[in-house]
Structures are given as C-alpha cells and as structure tokens.
Amino acid sequence: MTEGNFVDYVKMHVTSGNGGKGSAHLHREKYIQKGGPDGGDGGRGGHIILRGNSNLWTLIHLKFKRHFKAGHGAHGSSGRSTGADGEDIYIEVPLGTVVRDSETDTVLFEITEDGEEKIVVEGGMGGRGNWHFKSSTNQTPRYAQPGIPLEEKDITLELKVLADVGLVGFPNAGKSTLLSVLTSAKPKIADYEFTTLKPNLGIVEYRDFQSFIMADIPGIIEGAAEGKGLGYYFLRHIERNSILLFLIPADAKDIVEQYEILEDELKRYNPEMLDKERLVCISKSDMLDSELKSEIATILDKDLKADYMFISSVAQQGLTELKDKLWKLLND
C-alpha cells in the first residue's frame, strides 16, 4: 500500500430519508355505501448505516464521495396499503473506525467487528393513515399523519489501525527495516529521518501457520506534544495495539534516556497507553562487539525499567527470538 493510498481521516455529510405521509382515503366501491376510511400508512425513510468490513484497511474508498443520501418513504394509499420503505444506504468501513459528530466532536460509536452495523442517522417514521383514527364518534376521519422529516448530520470518520504489535521509536531507528524483514510489507526505507509519513501494516508469519499483525507509525520526537515533527497525528494507530515494541538504535547516545523520552511522549498523549505490554529492542546491534554489548546490557539491567533484547534486522540477528517473545506476550 502506497503512502498516498492510506487515508485514515474523512469528513462527510449524511442525510436520511423522509417518512412517507399517511393516506386520508375513503373507500369507494360500487354497491357499497359509506365504505369508510381505508388510508394506509406511509413508509419509513431510509437509514444511513455504517458496516464493518474486515477486508478494508483504509478509508480511501470514501475519499472522493462525501455526501450520502438515503431514499424517502413512499406515501400510503387506498385499501390500507402501506407505502414502501425508503432505501437504506450502507457505508462499508474498516475495523477500528471511530465516528464523531463534526459539530460537537463527540464520539458517536466505533466499529470493531466484521459485519457490525450502526445507524448514523435514522430515517423518518411514516405517518399513520386515516383508518387508525376511526372511532364510534368519528367514523369518517378525513385526516392522516404526515411523515417524520429526515435527519442530516456532518460526521468525521477516524481510523485507528487494529494491530497486535505497534512499533514506537525515534525517526531512523530501524522500524521500517524491521517491518520489511519480518513481513512482506514494503515500506519506504532511506538514510534520512521521517521516511515514513503514513502508517504501514504487515503480517508476521509464525510457527505452525500462525501469524500476528505489526504496525509501523511515523517516528516520534521529543516535543511531539507541542506539534514538533509529525506531532501526535498518527499515535491513535497504536492505541489499540496489544504490545508496544520500542525500537532504539544501538548507536544512540543514551538508550535509557531515549526510552524515557518516548515513554513520556506516550504518557502525555494518553496515560492509558503505558498500561500496555512493552518490549524494548536495541536495533542495529550488529555494530556492537560482544564486549560493548555486555557493557550496554549492564547499564540497561540497572537503569532500564523494561524487558529488552538486542536485534539486527539487516544481519538477521535475534529476530526468531523476537517473534517468540512477542507471541508469548500476545498469548499470555
């Protein structure tokens, strides 16, 4: 999936259908005098419904279609005939889509399961025909109810990627390289910062034909809370991850300090993210000899408040152990 095809934020205007009005018809037939009221009910207006689809990964199919309008309910007719219901409009969305009211910014609901359906705006109810109002004191009512008018609303769809493992790290820490080695994903990789501008997803194949999903988001830098770098725009994609995998390069000036900066930025974004399982990977460790690796491990054992391991994506070092560790954390 190319960066231009990853769409995770869409605004749209949705309109339901009017309810059909009831009929005020009086029965007329040869040889039947005073047939009485027989006006039918109006049909219900169409709903706008969001439906989860596990085959979708982004909101790109909604990028250029921003207006959705359901059908109107048909009016009632003679013979107590009820009008047809208006056509419901179904909007397919990927799992993890959060729906907000654009005016109030309140969360209406979210779609997390395949086939799950939620009504965004309800169609108007059809009016009742005049035969409902017949009584001993009013045997010929010549009135019926109008249909309930439509609803319209501006909504915002935000996608929060549902993945098992989320990669967290500074720019150029090796997140995209790790994703490309462990999965079939082909993220952009280059020797400069912020090569990743959109989240990338990949499926990690494990033993016995099992698998789990890994997500790579753009790098976080100190001060992201103030809008530096790409800010917090993409951090919502790791809110749903079961495990946070911190990547810190072996050539970092202070590995513990970098971890604490990343942890602080996540805490400032959403303190609940620190309740997730965490694992720290020291990437690019093929640059270290055994003596230097031992010295770093001594420091980390003392000061780092998290489990850690050394890996190298390029040299294929420690990757099998990493997958074993992640799988164990996911299933515990």
Q: Say how far apart CA 326 and CA 35 lie, in whole Å.
A: 77
- Give the count of alpha carbons within 13 A of 216, CB side only: 32
- Contact criterion met (CB below 8 Å) for 124 and 19: yes
pLDDT, residue 218, reads 67
pLDDT, residue 220, reads 65
Q: What integer is the mean pLDDT of 16-20?
A: 96
> Residue 190 pLDDT more than 70?
no
> Residue 16 pLDDT more than 70?
yes
Q: Say how far apart CA 124 and CA 149 lie, in whole Å.
A: 5
Task: Mark the binding-site residues for GTP, compressed into ranges.
Answer: 169-176, 194-198, 216-219, 283-286, 312-314
> Residue 10 pLDDT more than 70?
yes
> Residue 43 pLDDT more than 90?
yes
Of 317, 310, 324, which is closest to residue 281 (Cα–Cα)?
Answer: 310
> Residue 129 pLDDT more than 90?
yes
> Residue 271 pLDDT more than 90?
no
Say what the alpha-carbon torsion angle 317, 320, 324, 330 is, to the nearest 10 degrees.
80
Q: Which of 5-14, 71-80, 229-238 has the highest mean pLDDT?
A: 71-80
pLDDT, residue 41, reads 95
Task: Mark the binding-site residues, compressed into ranges.
Answer: 169-176, 194-198, 216-219, 283-286, 312-314
> pLDDT of 199-226, one tens digit each?
677 788 888 888 888 888 765 655 555 5
Of 135, 130, 126, which is closest to residue 23 (Cα–Cα)?
Answer: 130
Find tokens 């729906």 and name the residue.
99
Token reading at 315: 């040299």
pLDDT, residue 192, reads 40
> Residue 196 pLDDT more than 60?
no
Q: What integer is the mean pLDDT of 188-198?
A: 48
pLDDT-derived band at 236 (thresholds 50, 70, 90) equals low
What is the pLDDT of the chain when averaged over all its residues? 85
